[in-house]
């Protein structure tokens, strides 16, 4: 499992971000792109109680750029080309469409950066609140530990292992139950609580992505004119009820029945051998699960090193290769792919092996 922040580092950063982030609901006619130091920035014009006009300028990260392009139906390839080669043309395009097709949008900012450009129906369920709700519950779990945690531009991750629930897939190969708690403040995913299996022999984590629970960031429309957005009392009450549900979900997440269901799937996979050429089977698997060349080579290396030429071995090679990629987001995606590998049908597995034999 990829190492991220310590729990103390995560807590400090969550508290800092909670104190400096700002959110706005605005008509796009009150938003404009403006060049600053050769890069497009986002200007927000806000009337304060109808008496004062304030203009805030924010730089834009990749997420905000992509969401602006998607909202305005500008093809990503063309948007990126304008951003790189002709940013003045990009600002002209964006500003024209902001006025031609006005809409209310939520702009989320942090540290002087526009980090998200979202629907005005986006429900803010923030990382600080999630962590504040779930960490005390994790503290109640005897011997449970946060194995890995991280904050990226797109998500927060908490990966918890409970060593009190463990078993052997086969002799000497011990796995322990765990959970992944994740959230995105910028529209890149729901609040999610998913089972996780931790393999002691190589510190691999495998995320079971179809046995968890999710809560999406969709709510009623935020009302009002242009303004900086704060919590109202109704939303605070709704959020308190939601956080209580999240706490209950976390308490039930390390479920013995689900854990043994996953372990049974692992045991079945140990009996599904790789019969084709190893390199070709990995290349076909890379195409099936959209791995790039570096990721494919890493999977092949760990499959050979692990000396387990089975479906289980391929799954473990996938989750072990997840530790090698630089991006924590991508690493977590690859930990989920390990579960996808285990769930191939017998026909799909036969096809992968036949492809390896025929090349």
**Element at 200 (helix H, strand E):** none
Do 246 and 163 share a domain, yes or no? yes
Cα–Cα distance, 178 to 242 (Å, whole number): 22
Average pLDDT, integer, range 184-197: 89
pTM of the model: 0.86
Domain carrying residue 200: 127-217+231-254
Cα–Cα distance, 210 to 51 (Å, whole number): 52
Do 97 and 131 share a domain, yes or no? no
pLDDT tens digits, residue range 223-258? Answer: 444 445 555 555 566 677 778 888 887 887 677 888
pLDDT tens digits, residue range 55-73? Answer: 889 999 999 999 999 999 9
pLDDT, greater one: 53 or 74: 74
Q: Is residue 17 part of a domain?
A: no
Please give the pLDDT value at position 359: 45
- Beta strands 52-60 and 113-119 are parallel
Q: Per the structure block, which two tokens stand in for 110?
A: 């942090």
Among 297, 301, 293, 279, CA closest to 352: 279
Do 249 and 145 share a domain, yes or no? yes
SS3 for 117-182, per residue? EEECCECCCCHHHHHHHHHHHHHHCCCCEEEEEEECCCCEEEEEEEEEEEEEEECCEEEEEEEEEE
Please give the pLDDT value at position 157: 95
Q: Please give the DSSP secondary-structure letter assigned to residue 254.
A: S
Q: Per the structure block, which two tokens stand in for 198?
A: 């931790």
Query: Mean pLDDT in the chain?
Result: 87
Could you say which of 60, 86, 119 is where a domain stops?
A: 119
Cα–Cα distance, 308 to 265 (Å, whole number): 16
């Amino acid at each position: 499992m990829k190492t991220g922040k310590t729990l103390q580092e995560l807590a400090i950063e969550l508290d800092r971000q909670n104190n400096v982030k700002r959110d706005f609901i605005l008509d796009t006619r009150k938003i404009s792109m403006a060049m600053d130091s050769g890069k497009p920035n986002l200007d927000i014009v806000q009337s304060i109680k109808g008496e004062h006009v304030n203009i805030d300028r924010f730089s834009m990260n990749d997420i905000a750029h992509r969401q602006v392009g998607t909202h305005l139906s500008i093809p990503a390839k063309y948007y990126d080309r304008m951003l790189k080669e002709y940013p003045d043309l990009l600002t002209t395009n964006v500003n024209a469409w902001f006025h031609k097709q006005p809409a209310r949008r939520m702009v989320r900012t942090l540290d002087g950066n526009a980090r998200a450009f979202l629907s005005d129906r986006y429900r803010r369920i923030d990382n600080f609140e999630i962590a504040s709700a779930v960490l005390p519950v994790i503290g109640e779990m005897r011997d449970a530990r946060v194995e890995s945690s991280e904050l990226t531009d797109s998500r927060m991750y908490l990966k918890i292992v409970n060593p009190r629930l463990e078993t052997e897939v086969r002799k000497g190969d011990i796995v322990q139950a765990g959970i992944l708690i994740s959230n995105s403040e910028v529209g890149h995913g729901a609040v999610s609580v998913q089972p996780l299996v931790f393999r002691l022999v190589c510190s691999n984590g495998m995320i079971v992505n179809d046995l968890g629970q999710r809560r999406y960031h969709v709510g009623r429309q935020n009302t009002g004119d242009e303004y900086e957005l704060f919590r109202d009392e109704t939303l605070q009450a709704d959020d308190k009820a939601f956080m209580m549900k999240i706490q209950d979900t976390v308490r039930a997440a390390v479920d013995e029945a689900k854990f043994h269901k996953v372990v049974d799937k692992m045991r079945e996979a140990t009996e599904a051998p790789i019969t084709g050429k190893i390199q070709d089977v990995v290349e076909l698997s890379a195409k099936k699960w959209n791995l790039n060349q570096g990721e494919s080579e890493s999977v092949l290396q760990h499959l050979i090193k692990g000396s387990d030429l089975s479906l289980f071995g391929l799954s473990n090679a996938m989750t072990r290769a997840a530790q090698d990629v630089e991006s924590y987001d991508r690493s977590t995606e690859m930990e989920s792919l390990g579960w996808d590998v285990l769930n191939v049908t017998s026909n799909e597995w036969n096809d992968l092996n036949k492809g390896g034999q025929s090349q």
